Amino acid sequence: MPGFRVHITGSSIVGLGYGAAAWYVGDMHPMTCTLGAGLCAVAGMMPDLDSGPGIPLRESVAFAAAVVPMMMLHRLQQTGMPLEAIILCGAAMYLAIRFGLSWLLKNYSYHRGMFHSLPASAIAGQVTFLAFAAEEPLRRYFVSSAVVLGFLTHLVLDEIWSVKLGMFGPKFKKSFGTALKFHGPVLWPNLVTYVLALALGALAAGDAAWTEKLATVKRQMEQAARPYQQYPFQQWQYRR
């Protein structure tokens, strides 16, 4: 099984490649590319949140507790909340993730459960999409896809390390097939995972449609205002 250094190194390399490709090929803003690369690197630790107390759980939860409130800042501002309420909401999210989520993971998760699955990677991307409420839809898709890519990098590395080359060909360990999977051996985690994935998917689809609509209205308003910008306003003067 690959360790923490292997996972964080692999997801960091993939994140750098993903960000660089978006910059040079997709003409994405450098700051957005940097954010996507960083989230991809950190997402490489997410599947090991079910491994119990250790570096992956401690670092991932601490990072999420700090970053998620900042990603939600723009969405909270869109609601028209006062500054004091936004600060309180950010503090509440930090405490909920830092202590509440950490407690749930320590007491109600087991290693190589549904955290190591393809539906879990979809959930990670959907949560990121809903939290990162950028006005441009392409930026939201890029950032959420970076998290999914980092998550999948971890799963792929787990499967690669489950195959051992011997003198008579490859040998498969007992852990082979437990990372890239659609369901686990226990019923309730499967149900919870799929219900959560479907619910978040519906929310993300509705939010994406609303964001696309707002982006279209904004472009139409900019196009309508463009002819007036070409002719500067001149104050009318009365002549006898």
Q: What is the pLDDT of residues 198-236, one digit of tens each?
A: 999 999 988 888 777 776 766 777 677 666 555 555 555
For residue 128, the Cα-to-chain-centroid distance in whole angstroms is 3
| 29 within domain boundaries | yes
Q: Which domain holds residue 19?
A: 4-52+109-230
Structure tokens at 130: 């809903």
pLDDT by residue (tens digit) across 14-60? 999 999 999 998 888 999 999 999 999 999 888 887 766 667 777 77
* φ and ψ of 118, to 5 deg: -70, -40
| 184 within domain boundaries | yes
Domain count, the chain: 1
Q: Is 63 helix (H, G, I), strand (E, B) or coil?
A: helix
Q: Is 114 helix (H, G, I), strand (E, B) or coil?
A: coil
| 25 within domain boundaries | yes
Mean pLDDT rounded to a whole number for the chain: 83
Helix axes 118-131, 55-71, angle to 10 degrees: 30
| 93 within domain boundaries | no
For residues 137 and 220, what is the distance between their CA atoms, to the nearest angstrom? 16
| 89 within domain boundaries | no
| 101 within domain boundaries | no
